[in-house]
Chains A and B, each alone.
Chain A
Amino acid sequence: MDALLVRLIILLPLAGAILTGLVPLFMPGLRKNESLISTIGTLAVAVPFGMVVYLFLTFDGNAFVATFYTWMAAGDLSVDFAYRIDQLSLIMGLVVLGVGTLIHVYSIGYMHGDDGFWKFFSYLNLFIFAMLNLILADNLVVLFLGWEGVGLCSFLLIGFWYTDLKNSAAANKAFIVNRIGDFAFLLAMFLLFRELGGLDFDTLLNGVDTLSSTTVTMAVLLLFLAATGKSAQIPLFVWLPDAMAGPTPVSALIHAATMVTSGLYLLARMSDMVLAAPGVMVLIAIVGALTALVAATIAITQTDIKRVLAYSTVSQLGFMFMAVGVGAFFVAIFHVVTHAFFKALLFLGSGSVIHGMHEVEHDLEHEGHDTSSFDAQDMRTMGNLKAYMPATHITFLIATLAIAGIPLLSGFFSKDEILFMAFQAGYNGMPVAYAVWAVGILTALLTAVYMTRAYVLTFRGEERWPEAPSIAPHESPLSMTLPLWTLAILAIVGGYIGLPGVIADGDWNWIHHYLAQDYGGPVADLADSAGFSLPLALKWLLIAIGGGVAILGVSLAWVAYDREGLAFDDRLRERLGPLYGVWEVKYRLDEVYDAALVNPIRDIMGQGFAKADASVVDGVVNGAARGAAAFGRVLGRIQTGVIQRYAVMMVLGVVIVMALILFV
Chain B
Amino acid sequence: MELTVNWYLALSAILFSIGVMGVLFRSNAIVILLSVELMLNAVNVSIIALAQMMADSTGHILVFFVLAVAAAEAAIGLSLVIALFRTKPTVDVNEFNLLKH
A and B touch in the complex (CB under 8 A): yes
**Does A651 contact B24, Cβ atoms closer than 8 Å?**
yes
A580 to B36, CA, bound (A): 72
Q: Does A637 touch B at the CB level, under 8 Å?
A: yes
Within 8 A of A (CB), among B18-33: 20, 23-25, 27, 32
**Does A641 contact B100, Cβ atoms closer than 8 Å?**
yes
**Does A642 contact B97, Cβ atoms closer than 8 Å?**
yes
A641 to B101, CA, bound (A): 7
Q: Does A639 touch B at the CB level, under 8 Å?
A: yes
Interface-centre pick from B20, B93, B100 (highest chain A CB count, 10 A): B100
**Does A640 contact B23, Cβ atoms closer than 8 Å?**
no
Nearest chain A CB to B70's CB is how many angstroms away? 19
Interface residues on B, range: 10 to 19
**Does B97 contact A641, Cβ atoms closer than 8 Å?**
yes
**Does A636 contact B101, Cβ atoms closer than 8 Å?**
yes
Beyond A642-B93, A642-B94, whether A647 also contacts B24 by CB under 8 A is: yes
A639 to B101, CA, bound (A): 5
Q: Does A644 touch B at the CB level, under 8 Å?
A: yes
A641 to B25, CA, bound (A): 16
A378 to B98, CA, bound (A): 53
Interface size on A, residues (CB 8 A): 12
Q: Does B99 touch A at the CB level, under 8 Å?
A: yes
**Does B93 contact A640, Cβ atoms closer than 8 Å?**
no
A633 to B27, CA, bound (A): 26
Task: Tell me which residues across on chain B come within 8 A of A637, comparing CB atoms.
Answer: 101
Interface-centre pick from B27, B32, B97, B101 (highest chain A CB count, 10 A): B101
Interface-centre pick from A633, A642, A648 (highest chain B CB count, 10 A): A642
Q: Does A643 touch B at the CB level, under 8 Å?
A: yes
Beyond A651-B20, A651-B24, whether A644 also contacts B94 by CB under 8 A is: yes
From B27, B98, B100, A644 is in contact (CB under 8 Å) with: B27
A644 to B27, CA, bound (A): 8
Nearest chain A CB to B91's CB is how many angstroms away? 12
Return the CB mask of B75-101 against A: 1 if under 8 Å, else 0. Answer: 000000000000000000110111111
Nearest chain A CB to B96's CB is how many angstroms away? 7
A637 to B101, CA, bound (A): 6
Task: Tell me which residues across on chain A come within 8 A of B94, comparing CB atoms.
Answer: 642, 644
Return the CB mask of B42-64 against A: 1 if under 8 Å, else 0. Answer: 00000000000000000000000
Interface residues of A (CB under 8 A from B): 633, 636-637, 639-644, 647-648, 651
Interface residues of B (CB under 8 A from A): 20, 23-25, 27, 32, 93-94, 96-101
List 30 A-B residue pairs with CB atoms under 8 Å apart, sorted by A's residue number. Answer: A636-B101, A637-B101, A639-B100, A639-B101, A640-B97, A640-B100, A640-B101, A641-B96, A641-B97, A641-B99, A641-B100, A641-B101, A642-B93, A642-B94, A642-B97, A642-B100, A643-B32, A643-B93, A643-B96, A644-B23, A644-B24, A644-B25, A644-B27, A644-B93, A644-B94, A647-B23, A647-B24, A648-B24, A651-B20, A651-B24
